[in-house]
Amino acid sequence: MQTQKITAHIPVELLKSAQEVTHKGVTETLREALALLARSKGYEKFLSGYGKVKLSIDLEALRKD
């Protein structure tokens, strides 16, 4: 994994509260937060397609098994 060094201005209390949740340092806390944000966007995209997939399943045939 390639990394990039950044400088960010983050409210101290926000960072402290996040670190209390993760029990980790600044870098690892920010890494977890960014990963969670990326996953949540993927989840939103997944849910936006919910109910739009047509399935041709014979429920009666499945119930007989």
Do 22 and 35 touch, CB atoms closer than 8 A?
no
Flag whether 1 is in a domain.
no
pLDDT of 65 strictly over 70? no
Flag whether 42 is in a domain.
yes
Flag whether 55 is in a domain.
yes
What is the average pLDDT across 29-50?
87
pLDDT of residue 63: 87
Domain count, the chain: 1
What is the average pLDDT across 17-26?
97
If pLDDT is split at 50, 70 and 90, which confidence band does 10 have? Answer: very high
Nearest-angstrom CA–CA distance, 32 and 50 = 27
Flag whether 3 is in a domain.
no
Flag whether 4 is in a domain.
no
Range of the domain at 57: 12-64
Flag whether 2 is in a domain.
no
Q: pTM of the prediction? A: 0.65
Which DSSP symbol is given to 24? S
Q: Which residue has the higher pLDDT, 10 or 63?
A: 10
